[in-house]
Amino acid sequence: MAYKIPMAELTENASADQHHIPAKVKDMAAIDQPTQLVENWQEKGIAKFAELLDKYRGLRVFMDTCVRCGACKDACHYFIGTGDPNNMPVARAELLRKVYRRYFTLPGKLLGDKADAADFDEEMLAKWKTYFYQCSECRRCSVFCPYGIDTAEITMAAREIMAEIGVGTKYVTEVVAKVYETGNNLGIPGPAWKNNCEFFEDDVADAHGEKVEYPVDRVGAEVLLVPPSADNFANDKTMEAYGLIFKALGVSWTTSTYADEGGNFGLFFNYKNMKKVNQRMVQAARDLKVKILMWGECGHAWRGGIYTNTLSGPMDFLDPNYQYPIHLFQWLLEDNAKRLKALKVDKSINDDRSITYHDPCNPARAGQLIEEPRVLMNYCCNRFHEMPRNTIKEYTFCCGSGGGLLTDEIMPLRYAGGKPRADACMYVHKKHQVEFMATPCAICKAGLPVMLSYHKVPVEVTGVIDNLVRAMI
């Protein structure tokens, strides 16, 4: 049964255009986009649409192949959560397809609405702003589509067109602007990043009785780690774990104040900014003369990261064996997991916690990081339990805050979108007394605790390597 957002809650907290929070002028300017709706926006929007259709063959295929069977309907957490028929992936995609038919097919040009086509007008733009920013680009619907239609690419195309004509949403554009200003999504200045790393060194020394370094801008280190900035600011156990793992393995590493953020919100806005953010990480690796460019625990960072060679490559200045994007988990499991085995883990240390795992959408469905975290969890936990099989791996449900929807202004929508994940978590809590949920995604770590609390699921959210380090001798 769909979870309905209370109408009183909606009308109290939002306007009729409730789920689109316009971007600030200063942020649109900072990311090199029009700061207001441009003149002749319809024509320019259609011209951008034509450019995307020519550039991306898959997009044109997705426009023509849908038979509106509805197989995607129950796959979308926002439809399940809100009960809003416009949140069915097929209905959301139809908002773009109607415009496609009107301007790019002969029946649509001749017959208009009789060919199920629609003008790209103010009414349609209002629907785009609302519903294409209620899609977290999680791609669950594509798993169930018999034709393999990827609604995330349709959402990306619509957002790309809106960006071209001066329409952006606050949370995404604000975050990208902060990266250009400070190097990270949270707007942490370089000196503050360094100070936080010094605090980690003191805290870890107090807790473990030995000095563990958290280097910043170290030239010549073996590894440049690009974690989410939230690990330095909020997910302290995960940040501590990075240092402890590298220390135990005797590997020199560093972070960078120029690119101290793995997350790439350009992925949720437009290609130009996705590429620009990604280039910062490669430039930092080049400037610091490292051998390996490595991503930490962040879901959409990895989804953006896997395209690094295409966006910013080649990475031929790195170690010949690592001229490709690599995740910390993959690195730990290389060569028959020799690094993992070198960490000297006693998994019985974690016997005081029953724990499950949440697959972030981007690593699981877009980044093929599915089995690696499970190897790590089983290596360090005896009481590890999966959620129901139709809610994990490629079938995982979104946390409700992905795709640029992690903003308090749309909290009722977040609560609704996260309901299917909350239900799965409650199931495993009742069946196996699970009290902890591990996940390698900063957005999930920020969104899940609030959502689980709202739905009264008594489970604490942690990182994956938090549990690994906890079990280290």
380: domain CATH number is: 3.40.50
- Quote the domain boundaries for residue 161: 7-30+34-167
Residues 295 and 268 in one domain: yes
Report the pLDDT value the prediction gives residue 100, as an integer from 0 to 100.
98
Establish whether the linkage from the previous residue to 363 is cis, with ω within 30° of 0: no
Nearest alpha carbon to residue 329 among 374, 271, 372, 388: 372
Q: In terms of domains, do 153 and 241 share one? A: no
State how beta strands 326-327 and 436-438 pair.
Answer: unpaired
User: How many Cβ atoms sit within 10 Å of the Cβ of residue 148?
Assistant: 11
Does any domain span residue 417?
A: yes
Same domain, 309 and 234: yes
Model pLDDT, residue 408: 87
Shared-domain flag, residues 400 and 304: no
Q: Quick check: is 176 in a domain?
A: no
Distance between alpha carbon 447 and the CA centroid of its chain, in Å?
A: 11
Give the number of other CB atoms < 10 A from CB of residue 180: 15
Task: Give the chain's length.
Answer: 473
- Asked if residue 348 and residue 336 are part of one domain, the reply reads no
Q: Are residues 50 and 133 in the same domain?
A: yes
Residue 2 domain-assigned (yes or no): no
Is residue 331 domain-shared with residue 361, that is, in the same domain? no
Q: Which of 313, 340, 367 is the last residue of a domain?
A: 340
User: What pLDDT score was predicted for residue 19?
Assistant: 65
196 lies in the same domain as 255:
yes
Predicted pLDDT of residue 20: 78
Same domain for 278 and 199, yes or no, is yes
175 inside domain: no
pTM of the model: 0.93
Give dist(CA 326, CA 376) in Å, integer: 16
Token duo for residue 73: 């309907």
Q: Which of 93, 260, 287, 114 is nearest to 189 (CA)?
A: 260
In this structure, are 301 and 447 located in the same domain? no
Angle at which helix 442-454 crosses helix 419-432, to 10 degrees, equals 80
pLDDT reported for residue 4: 40
186 belongs to a structural domain: yes
Among 323, 340, 357, residue at a domain's last position = 340
- End-to-end C-alpha distance for the chain, whole angstroms: 47
The number of distinct structural domains making up the chain is 3
Q: Do 75 and 53 have their domain in common?
A: yes
Q: For residue 471, give every residue at least 6 positions away whose Cβ sits within 8 Å of its Cβ, in sequence order, or none.
A: 345, 346, 347, 349, 350, 380, 381
Q: 116: alpha, beta or left, given left = phi > 0 and alpha = psi -120 to 50?
A: left
Among the three residues 287, 318, 340, which one is the final residue of a domain in this structure? Answer: 340
Q: What is the block-wise mean pLDDT of the chain (473 residues), using blocks of 10 residues?
A: 37 44 95 96 98 96 94 93 92 97 97 96 95 94 95 96 96 95 93 95 92 97 96 94 97 96 94 96 97 96 94 96 96 97 96 98 94 98 97 96 90 93 97 98 96 97 97 93
Q: Is residue 174 part of a domain?
A: no
DSSP string, 394-446: GGPPP-S-TTT---GGGHHHHHHHTHHHHHHHHHHHHHH---EEE-S-HHHHH
Whether residue 352 sits in one domain with residue 314: no
| Residue keyed to tokens 């949370």 | 171
